[in-house]
Structure 1
């Protein structure tokens, strides 16, 4: 098996982005390359063509590798449901919810077995693996039963490139400290160091590269620039802070409710490329302000997050905003919150059977949380009842609940999917919108229609459609080109191709 594992000195140092770039660089040369992350902890997920769920980062990396995403690329996905528990998604299907301690104590052997099976399956079809680690490989309190860093590099028998984030400071200590905490055998696997998120004149870090190489004996394979607006979907909720830091001066202000257990936050990313849109995350009523529209995103714990927005005054602010003619869109869990009541029939959302919570009351509907999760890729058209006209949408659904509308009113569907299945809610004036469709706003025509409707409402000029969709493949090429300029690409390929020989002669 040929390949490399990208590990980091910490979380959020850019492992996923670098793995994505490497996938595209190999794919551009005609190599059959595959991404792999044994265990991913993220509420940003990706639905494969056969309706199974993996980490979003591996789905994106598969696109960069010019191949179809499968569950073998991310056999274990952990989706946090609280500070203590996470849902375990095994080979694309949710199997149980466990505490961190319970997972470590009961799942280790099973995890290794599934990971080994996944690597063997992928090895039948692909030539080069780009493996991704998680967090740091030297979390000493977890290291003895980890399933995602050096243990998996050993199972796959690949070299490791260590990534360090220079933007956060302390890069020399983080590199040397990480290497010092590895065992001697683990240390031999580290065949390269990559410095990420560098700002400014690269020549100013020449002495830094020299110091690192002399101190560690490991070559620095590249100093990568800080890349803004790279258009590659974020992996997890850590990146909400990245969104928050992207200050924009657009005149159209959209408030995004920042939920504690927000999931699939990449749903709102296309707005970053609308010139006149200012995205603003709000955490309480004091931050609500006077937006032109509000988006309530998906969540891994709908009722918990609904209780949260009530506690911080956001629920009342959103209700008042809607009653005064504001535009509110809820996606997945946000859609469920818009209804009158949420009933946890099976205890799958709260852990308490038959638990009930009142919703925002912006649509006449009740959501029932079922036992089985629905995951499906979908395509459809605008529902004729919307009177919007013709239009197509596509995306994916991942949800436990069913939202049922009152028999007393006419259900106002948003979309028609395959087999004439009605989905979502579109109020009479189009100001309240709810849907289970993730990537709603990645559909250029829908986003264009919705934004121009909001613009008209607040007396802002109409704007032409921004075709974010057509840039989807080009963005991988641009990322690969930018990073390729700063990587020692030939040396990277040499390390990967010669690893077995070098390893056998240690």
Structure 2
């Protein structure tokens, strides 16, 4: 197998973004390339064409590589459900929920086997695999049974490049410390270092490059600039701070309720392209303000996040906002929270069978949680009762536990391809609930919804902004920027000549 593994000195150093860039660079050179991450921990997931879940980052990296995302690119996905427990998604399907200790004690051999199988599948189909690690490879308390860093590099028998984030400080110590803590056989696999997120004049770091190379004997393969607002979907909750760190001061103020177990926040990323929209994350009542619209996003633990919202008295502010005519839209778990009652019949949401919770009662609906999860790609159109253009098509995906039923007559939001009704459309669109993730990635719908808000504020309506036009272009922009700072010829040599005499 030919390839390269990108590991980091810590979490959120930019591994996912660098892998994305490498996939597009290699694809642009005619290489059949695939991303791979053995084990991902993230509630920001991606649904494949077959309706299987993988980490969001690997889905995006596959798009950058111009190949179809598959479960072999991320065979193990851990989705946190509490501070202690995580749902295990194995080859795209949820199979169990375990604590960290239970996972290490009972899943290691099974995980190792599926990683080997996945690597073989990818080796048979692709010329090069670009592998992403997780966190740091020198977490000493976890190294003996790790499934995502040096063990994977060993199984694939590929070289490793270490990425360090200079923006957070301590870059020299993080590099030297990581190398010193590696076992000798692991240290031999490190073929280069990348310095990421450099701000300012890159020439000012030339002495730093020289020091690293002389101290460690490892070449610096690139010093990458801090890429602001790159629009590449993030992987986990740490990425929220990066991607939404530079809020615009738009005329439309949208408050997103920052749930502790938020999932699939990539649903909100298209608003970054809308010049007159400000996205604000609201964790506490003091941050609520007077938004034009509220979005309650998906969550991996609906009832816990509902209780958190109520404990902080955000429910009172949300209800007052709606009573005053403000817009609100709930996606997936956020949709369930808007209902009257939530019943955890099987204990799949709270681990307490038959647990009942009172929702915000903004939608006349009850959600009942069962054991089986829905994971489906979705094609839909507006329900005729909404009065919205029936010819417009919407695409997205469902990932949810629970079925939502209405206690009295309600207007559906969508009609699915199979003819079923979906979601809720109340007060001419003032209150909307839906299970459709990536709803706002549909340009016509996003424009329709924002124009509802613009009209209420007596602002001019705007035309459709085609995010899809930018989607592929952003991969090329990122690839060109990164490649210009890589020692690319050396990196290609490391990929193709590793292990040869």
TM score, norm. by length of structure 2: 0.99
Q: Tell me, what secondary structure is at the counterpart of 1:4?
A: strand
Distance 2:71 2:428 in 1: 41
Distance 1:305 1:241 in 2: 20
- The reply on whether 1:414 has 2:410 as its aligned counterpart is no
Range 456-465 or range 283-292, more displaced: 456-465
Distance 1:464 1:85 in 2: 45
Deviations 1:146-172 (A, max 9, x none): 000001100110100000001111000
Distance 2:246 2:371 in 1: 39
Aligned position for 1:52: 52
Count of residues in correspondence between the two structures: 500
Q: Tell me, what secondary structure is at the counterpart of 2:427?
A: coil
Aligned position for 1:305: 305
Deviations 1:255-308 (A, max 9, x none): 000000000001000111111111111111111010000000000000000000
Aligned position for 1:294: 294
Q: Tell me, what secondary structure is at the counterpart of 1:101?
A: helix
Aligned position for 2:190: 190
Distance 2:56 2:32 in 1: 20
After TM superposition, give the deviation of residue 461 of structure 1 in Å: 2.4
After TM superposition, give the deviation of residue 243 of structure 1 in Å: 4.3
Distance 2:242 2:327 in 1: 25
Q: Is the 8 A contact 2:271 2:277 kept in 1?
A: yes
Aligned position for 1:217: 217
Deviations 1:147-205 (A, max 9, x none): 00001100110100000001111000000000000011000000010111111101100
- The reply on whether 1:134 has 2:134 as its aligned counterpart is yes
Q: Is the 8 A contact 2:197 2:227 kept in 1?
A: yes
Aligned position for 1:399: 400
Distance 1:355 1:211 in 2: 60
Distance 2:340 2:388 in 1: 26
Deviations 1:9-45 (A, max 9, x none): 0000000000000001111111110100000000000
Q: Tell me, what secondary structure is at the counterpart of 2:125?
A: coil
Distance 2:307 2:243 in 1: 24
- The reply on whether 1:67 has 2:67 as its aligned counterpart is yes
Aligned position for 2:483: 484
Aligned position for 1:499: 498
Q: Is the 8 A contact 2:229 2:243 kept in 1?
A: no
Aligned position for 1:202: 202
Deviations 1:441-496 (A, max 9, x none): 11100000100110111222222221112211111111101111111111101011
Distance 2:433 2:384 in 1: 16
Deviations 1:360-379 (A, max 9, x none): 00010000111100101111
Aligned position for 2:469: 470
Distance 1:309 1:65 in 2: 40
Unmatched 5+ stretches in structure 2: none
After TM superposition, give the deviation of residue 121 of structure 1 in Å: 1.1
Distance 1:244 1:465 in 2: 22
Distance 1:495 1:432 in 2: 55
Distance 1:373 1:382 in 2: 24
Q: Is the 8 A contact 2:262 2:297 kept in 1?
A: yes
Range 74-83 or range 465-474, more displaced: 465-474
After TM superposition, give the deviation of residue 241 of structure 1 in Å: 1.8
After TM superposition, give the deviation of residue 244 of structure 1 in Å: 4.6
Q: Tell me, what secondary structure is at the counterpart of 1:279?
A: strand
Distance 2:39 2:370 in 1: 26
Q: Tell me, what secondary structure is at the counterpart of 2:500?
A: helix
Unmatched 5+ stretches in structure 1: none
Q: Tell me, what secondary structure is at the counterpart of 2:294?
A: strand
After TM superposition, give the deviation of residue 98 of structure 1 in Å: 0.3
Distance 2:93 2:384 in 1: 34
Range 473-482 or range 87-96, more displaced: 473-482
Deviations 1:218-270 (A, max 9, x none): 00011111111111101011122224522211111000000000000010001
Q: Is the 8 A contact 2:231 2:243 kept in 1?
A: no
Matches within 5 A, 1:100-249: 100-249=100-249
- The reply on whether 1:25 has 2:25 as its aligned counterpart is yes
Distance 2:414 2:488 in 1: 47
Distance 2:40 2:497 in 1: 28
Distance 2:226 2:80 in 1: 29
After TM superposition, give the deviation of residue 342 of structure 1 in Å: 0.4
Distance 1:159 1:389 in 2: 53
Distance 2:412 2:48 in 1: 26
Distance 1:245 1:119 in 2: 36
Q: Tell me, what secondary structure is at the counterpart of 2:428?
A: coil
Q: Is the 8 A contact 2:9 2:162 kept in 1?
A: yes
CA RMSD of aligned residues (A): 0.9
4+ aligned runs moved over 3 Å, structure 1:
none
Distance 1:465 1:165 in 2: 37
After TM superposition, give the deviation of residue 429 of structure 1 in Å: 2.0
After TM superposition, give the deviation of residue 421 of structure 1 in Å: 1.4
Aligned position for 1:458: 457
Q: Tell me, what secondary structure is at the counterpart of 2:499?
A: helix
Deviations 1:117-149 (A, max 9, x none): 111111111110100000000001111100000
Distance 2:243 2:272 in 1: 9
TM score, norm. by length of structure 1: 0.98
- The reply on whether 1:385 has 2:399 as its aligned counterpart is no
